[in-house]
Amino acid sequence: MIAQIGDRIVVKGVHVGEHGRVGVITALRHPDGSPPYEVRWLDDGHVGLIFPGPEAHIERETEPR
Protein backbone atom coordinates (compact mmCIF):
# COMPACT_ATOMS: atom_id res chain seq x y z
CA MET A 1 0.00 0.00 0.00
CA ILE A 2 1.45 3.33 -1.11
CA ALA A 3 -0.08 6.73 -0.29
CA GLN A 4 0.57 10.45 -0.54
CA ILE A 5 -0.36 13.29 1.75
CA GLY A 6 -3.96 14.28 1.04
CA ASP A 7 -5.09 10.80 0.01
CA ARG A 8 -7.98 9.23 1.90
CA ILE A 9 -7.74 5.97 3.73
CA VAL A 10 -10.92 3.93 4.03
CA VAL A 11 -11.08 1.24 6.70
CA LYS A 12 -14.02 -1.18 6.50
CA GLY A 13 -15.74 -2.37 9.65
CA VAL A 14 -14.85 -6.03 10.24
CA HIS A 15 -17.32 -6.89 13.00
CA VAL A 16 -21.12 -6.96 12.93
CA GLY A 17 -22.46 -3.47 13.63
CA GLU A 18 -19.06 -1.85 13.24
CA HIS A 19 -18.98 1.10 10.86
CA GLY A 20 -16.10 1.89 8.54
CA ARG A 21 -13.93 4.96 8.95
CA VAL A 22 -12.51 7.46 6.51
CA GLY A 23 -9.50 9.63 7.17
CA VAL A 24 -7.15 11.99 5.35
CA ILE A 25 -3.46 11.19 5.36
CA THR A 26 -1.68 14.19 6.89
CA ALA A 27 1.89 12.89 7.15
CA LEU A 28 4.06 10.04 5.91
CA ARG A 29 6.71 8.30 8.00
CA HIS A 30 8.58 6.94 4.93
CA PRO A 31 9.50 8.87 1.76
CA ASP A 32 8.30 5.98 -0.45
CA GLY A 33 4.70 6.36 0.84
CA SER A 34 4.59 3.06 2.69
CA PRO A 35 2.85 2.70 6.10
CA PRO A 36 2.48 3.77 8.80
CA TYR A 37 0.49 6.95 8.10
CA GLU A 38 -0.58 9.87 10.24
CA VAL A 39 -4.32 10.25 9.65
CA ARG A 40 -6.98 12.81 10.60
CA TRP A 41 -10.26 10.89 10.95
CA LEU A 42 -13.20 12.68 9.34
CA ASP A 43 -15.81 11.43 11.82
CA ASP A 44 -14.25 12.98 14.93
CA GLY A 45 -11.16 14.97 13.84
CA HIS A 46 -8.83 12.75 15.90
CA VAL A 47 -5.28 12.51 14.53
CA GLY A 48 -3.46 9.22 14.96
CA LEU A 49 -0.97 6.81 13.52
CA ILE A 50 -2.29 3.85 11.52
CA PHE A 51 -0.65 0.65 10.35
CA PRO A 52 -3.35 -0.35 7.82
CA GLY A 53 -4.42 -3.96 7.49
CA PRO A 54 -6.17 -5.86 4.70
CA GLU A 55 -9.51 -4.17 5.47
CA ALA A 56 -8.11 -0.77 4.40
CA HIS A 57 -7.60 0.85 1.01
CA ILE A 58 -6.35 4.17 -0.32
CA GLU A 59 -8.41 6.60 -2.40
CA ARG A 60 -6.20 9.02 -4.29
CA GLU A 61 -6.62 12.77 -3.96
CA THR A 62 -8.43 13.89 -7.11
CA GLU A 63 -7.55 17.57 -7.11
CA PRO A 64 -4.10 18.76 -8.20
CA ARG A 65 -1.76 19.83 -5.44
Closest by alpha carbon to 39, among 48, 31, 52, 30?
48
pLDDT value for 64: 54
Would you place residue 18 in the very low, low, confident or very high pLDDT band (cuts 50, 70, 90)? Answer: confident
User: What tens digit of pLDDT does each residue of 42-63 get?
Assistant: 999 999 999 999 999 999 977 5
* Neighbour tally for 32: CB within 10 Å: 6
Q: What percent of the chain has pLDDT over 90?
A: 78
Q: Which residues contact 27 (CB under 8 A, 6 or more apart)?
A: 5, 37, 38
Q: Are the C-beta atoms of residues 51 and 34 closer than 8 Å to each other?
A: no
